[in-house]
Amino acid sequence: MRLNSKRSFLVPAIAFVALLAAAPAGASAAITYPKVATPDYPAGTVTKTYKVPLTIKPGQNLNMLETLRQNSDMRPSEPGWILGFVPTLKLANGTTPPVDQIHLHHLVLYLGGTLVTAAGEEKTHWISPKGFGYRYNPSDLFILNHMIHNLTASPEKVIFEYTLYFLPDTAPAAADITRVRTAFVDVTPSTYPVFDVLRGSGVNGRYTYPQMSPASLMRRNVVPIQHDGSLVATAGHLHPGGLYTDLFLTRGDKTVKIFRSNAYYYGRALGNSWNVSMGATSPNWRVRVKAGDVLSIQVTYDSSKSSWYESMGISPVQITDVPAGGVDPFTTDGYAALDQTQVLTHGELKENRDYGGNKTSGYADARKLADGPTLAQVNVKNFLYQQGDLTMPGKKGRPPVIKQGHSLTFVNQDPTTEIYHTATPCKAPCDLSSGISYPLANGVTIDSGELGFPYTGAAVMQAAAGTASWSTPSTLKPGTYTYFCRVHPFMRGAFRVKAAKG
Ligand SMILES: [Cu+2]
């Protein structure tokens, strides 16, 4: 865990002054956590909680749009300012599901046709510093883009619940709010902006994207600034395995790092769980920008222990339409005065504590099983690998055999536009209980991708690989390979490669 921003640009490093508080419950003793900030809202701010009911299909991992209709009970009915946004996900009975069963893979909020914020299970509160806010009109397009991942084989009714800190126009303080919008800075802009981190890639167990990816991708993570203004807030979004996002500002031939957002993990599965809070900017962080400046982002993942597929790196930045103070980070004094202290917007979330990785009798140790049949294909159906599934007793559970130099093809036979499956190697025996931190993609670095096709009803990109089948490379060495489904980690299987005789 890196706690100090590396300020290796232009100006000498300045002392990192963390605002320290007592470590929150679940905190690791070795980590110094920033304090949890208390937002300062003007008089007249009201707290409003809205519920958006959603039905999630068995095993669903779809990227969907949900329009929050005008005059519905899912959004404010009066004009005003959104000063803070707090997302949660609940079951119909009002409880919060453990994230190894249902989780918020990501959530993006659109207001009036522009992006506001992005978050995942870390559920960072999206807060504007005092005096700033997002303009809201009841007639604005207001859309929730959600990817809620049902890790179980049963349908679920869930409620996306969000709380707004809202200042209605009728409050006198509304006249003093300066409008912000979001500059959405993403490592790989897209409606499904993901990349893979492969185990062993990068330098010294760290992989920085897009810096370490092919040069053709390097320019994709930039957002030009259209007009003079001020940056007033940001927080990074990343996935398990992520260490930090770095936000840069470029003017002419000079680039400075203006914020590092660390992933502050809690509990025993440090670095490989959703049990994390992101470092956000303090209310003092303010950067004066000029038309023509360019924002960019990098994200760094730990690549030492496992691969992280479909990872993200985003730093939405709140930017004003007109200059509203702040330092010029291209001067030595200005940079030194830029307060890069991190604050947390919330502490540990108890739904994120379910790590898995405990002893269970549910799975066979495939290394000890007799050979299954020699096969070229394993079908995936009803959330089972039809030959060699570690939960299946008897002959069906035995690992299918391929000869060295051959490959094994996996075919998804569940409804392929709704239920995606993967075959992702995990280190044998891969037989412990499922959770947010188990299994990990720590076997041989191959992966099927999410076998399936995009759901035709959604207007955004999907995680689907666009194919229902995938074959292992023919170069695998003899041995027993265990694997799991990244979408449904309770699904485990094995196959065996045998040396060709003679
Ligand atoms: Cu699956």
What's residue 55's pLDDT?
87
What's residue 262's pLDDT?
97
- Which run of H or of E encompasses 332? helix 332-337
Residue extent(s) of CATH 2.60.120.230 domains in the chain: 46-353
**Are the CB atoms for 167 and 44 separated by under 8 Å?**
yes
Q: Which residues surround ligand 1, an ion (CB under 5 A)?
A: 421, 485, 487-488, 491
The two tokens of residue 43 are: 């008089």
Ligand 1 centroid distance, CA of 63 (Å): 16
Q: How far apart are CA 103 and CA 446, in angstroms?
A: 25
- Helical segments of 114-201, H only: none
What's residue 13's pLDDT?
28
The CA distances from residue 378 to 158, 384, 464, in Å, are: 33, 10, 19
Higher pLDDT among residues 437 and 215, named by residue = 437
- Which of 1.10.150.130, 3.40.630.10, 2.60.40.420, 2.40.30.10 is the CATH number of 356-502? 2.60.40.420
Ligand 1 centroid distance, CA of 474 (Å): 23
- Residue 156 has a CB neighbour count (10 Å cut-off) of 18
**Are the CB atoms for 112 and 68 separated by under 8 Å?**
no
**Are the CB atoms for 49 and 56 separated by under 8 Å?**
no
Ligand 1 centroid distance, CA of 490 (Å): 8
Q: Residue type for 5, please?
A: S
Phi, psi of 173 (to 5 degrees): -65, -15
Residue with tokens 């949890």: 36
Ligand 1 centroid distance, CA of 64 (Å): 19
Ligand 1 centroid distance, CA of 380 (Å): 8
End-to-end Cα separation, the chain, in angstroms: 51
Ligand 1 centroid distance, CA of 440 (Å): 14
**Are the CB atoms for 499 and 476 separated by under 8 Å?**
no
Q: Cα dihedral angle (67, 71, 72, 78), rounded to 10 degrees?
A: 100
Residue 216 has pLDDT above 70, yes or no: no
Fold of 46-353: Jelly Rolls (2.60.120)
pTM of the model: 0.89
Residue 106: pLDDT band by 50, 70, 90 thresholds?
Answer: confident
Highest mean pLDDT among 48-52, 91-95, 101-105, 451-455: 48-52
The two tokens of residue 275 are: 């049990």
Q: How far apart are CA 25 and CA 376, in angstroms?
A: 50
Residue extent(s) of CATH 2.60.40.420 domains in the chain: 356-502
Ligand 1 centroid distance, CA of 391 (Å): 14
What's residue 1's pLDDT?
29
Ligand 1 centroid distance, CA of 128 (Å): 39
Ligand 1 centroid distance, CA of 329 (Å): 47
Residue with tokens 């409606």: 191
Higher pLDDT among residues 437 and 234, named by residue = 234
* Average pLDDT of span 182-205: 88
Residue 201: pLDDT band by 50, 70, 90 thresholds?
Answer: very high
- Which run of H or of E encompasses 336? helix 332-337
pLDDT single digits (tens) 27-78: 566 789 999 999 999 999 999 999 999 888 877 778 888 899 988 899 999 9
Ligand 1 centroid distance, CA of 483 (Å): 11
The two tokens of residue 195 are: 């990349």
CA 437 from chain centre, in angstroms, equals 14
The two tokens of residue 398 are: 């035995």
Ligand 1 centroid distance, CA of 162 (Å): 29
* Average pLDDT of span 338-343: 97
The CA distances from residue 446 to 76, 98, 182, 337, 435, in Å, are: 47, 29, 37, 47, 22
Ligand 1 centroid distance, CA of 450 (Å): 8
**Above pLDDT 70, what percent of the chain?**
91
Ligand 1 centroid distance, CA of 61 (Å): 10
The two tokens of residue 424 are: 């992702």
Ligand 1 centroid distance, CA of 57 (Å): 13
* Average pLDDT of span 327-339: 97
